[in-house]
Structure formats: C-alpha cells, structure tokens
Amino acid sequence: MEIGILGTGMVGQNIGAKLFWLGHNVMIGTRDVSKTMARTDPDMYGNPPFSEWIKQNSKIKMGSFAEAAAHGELIINATTGLVSMEALKLVGKENLDGKILMDIANPLDFSKGTPPFLSICNTDSLGEQIQRAFPKVRVVKTLNTVNAMVMVNPKKLKGADHSIFLSGNDAGAKCTVKELLKSMGWKDIIDLGDITTARGTEMILPIWIRLYGVFESPVFNVKVVR
C-alpha cells in the first residue's frame, strides 16, 4: 500500500520502518524538510537525529506534510497531539478527503510540567476533533495506547496476548486498519465503536504515564481479560 506518515519523531520512525519492512511504499512527512534534515542533535531520549535515521532507511521517501499525505492511500497521524490539527491543516483537505487517516496521536500537554494533562478529554477527543474538521476523511483512532516499540512489535510482549483498540465511523476503513494491525503482529483487536469512543482510549494516557513511572519502562500494555 502507499502510506504517508505525518511526523518524523520516534513514533513516525518506528511505524515507518515497520510498514516499509512489511512491503509498503512509505513516505514520511515533516513541516519543514530542510529544518528537519539540518538537526544534528540527538532527541530528548538520546536517539540520533532524523537525518541519520533517514540515511539508514534510505528507501523510505521524505517530503512535506502535504507531499506525504498526497503520496498515501492511507495516512498516519504520528505528530504530537497538540500540533496535529495544525499539521493536518497544512496537509489540506485536497490531500486527505476520501482517504483513511490512522490517528495514533494523543493530546498530551506538558506545558505545566509532569505528569502532563490532556488538552482535550471527557466530552471530546482529538480523534473526534479531526473527524469534525475533515468530515470526508475516514478517521480511525488506534495504537495510541501503546509505546512505539510495543506498537510495531506486539509479539515482544507475552507473544502479543494483549489488546489494541479501534474507534471510527467508517466500517470499511476500520476493516483495512484491522488487517494492517494484524500484519504488524496484533491479535486481540477490539472495535470499540464510532469515533466518540476515542475519548476512552485517549483517557487511558494518565494511567499509562503513571504505570511507566512504576515500571520504569514504557514496554507494557493491557490485556482485556473477559
């Protein structure tokens, strides 16, 4: 599949590399290509800069947000939740309408320190905001409840015996995303319902962050036992 990824951070890199490895034609997009390529410092976790990563993954294309979205039949929002709406506006409706948009971002606000709070929650969600702003886009919220390493390699953890969630209004789009998740190794995929159910998965983040603190590792997930 032609896949466009918005966001060059750890999440964009991990999912981009995984989907390329699975045989997809991947383009990764950023706000300002020359600025992103000019960065030479490691990120806040000590990972090498994007320019190093793209050199090592040279078959993954790179472009602006709009170019990456234009490239994709399926687009992945891997931007930081607080700037997702802005990034999607830069992409433009013309590059999004009719396509599947996998929204894997979370609206975490660190502006008042740690732990962060959610900039949207309870009676709304980032997933819903995106769907309202782009009514012709087939938004599917998923993968936002796990760290990038678990996301692309669920089998690493208890042989993938843990759960991932789907929220979205378009049954066909959810079906396509479900198949993509299966190809990535996911087994227990729970369709929660329409895009308003994204509130529930985004609101897992506050306990997720506390569990990260308790375990001193982001490599965990939940299994819904029933």
Closest CB to a copy of itself among 23 and 113? 113
Residue 80 CB, shortest distance to a copy of itself, in Å, is 18
Structure tokens at 42: 């490691």
Residue 11 CB, shortest distance to a copy of itself, in Å, is 20
Closest CB to a copy of itself among 73 and 220? 220
Four-CA torsion 125, 126, 128, 134, nearest 10 degrees: 160
Rounded Cα distance between 200 and 178, Å, is 19
**Among 150, 116, 69, 158, which Cα is nearest to 142's?**
150
Structure tokens at 40: 């030479």
Residue 216 CB, shortest distance to a copy of itself, in Å, is 11
Summarize as ranges the residues that interact with a copy of itself (CB under 8 A).
Answer: 115, 117-118, 121-123, 157-158, 161-163, 165, 190-193, 196-197, 199-201, 203-204, 206-211, 213-215, 217, 219-226
How do strand 117-118 and strand 108-109 relate by DSSP bridges? antiparallel
**Cβ distance 76 to 102 under 8 Å?**
yes
Closest CB to a copy of itself among 68 and 108? 108
Residue 1 CB, shortest distance to a copy of itself, in Å, is 28
Closest CB to a copy of itself among 174 and 199? 199
Residue 156 CB, shortest distance to a copy of itself, in Å, is 11
Closest CB to a copy of itself among 47 and 217? 217
Rounded Cα distance between 50 and 31, Å, is 13
Q: Can you tell me which residue has the tokens 């950023």?
A: 30
- In angstroms, the Cα distances linking 167 to 77, 92, 173 are 14, 23, 10
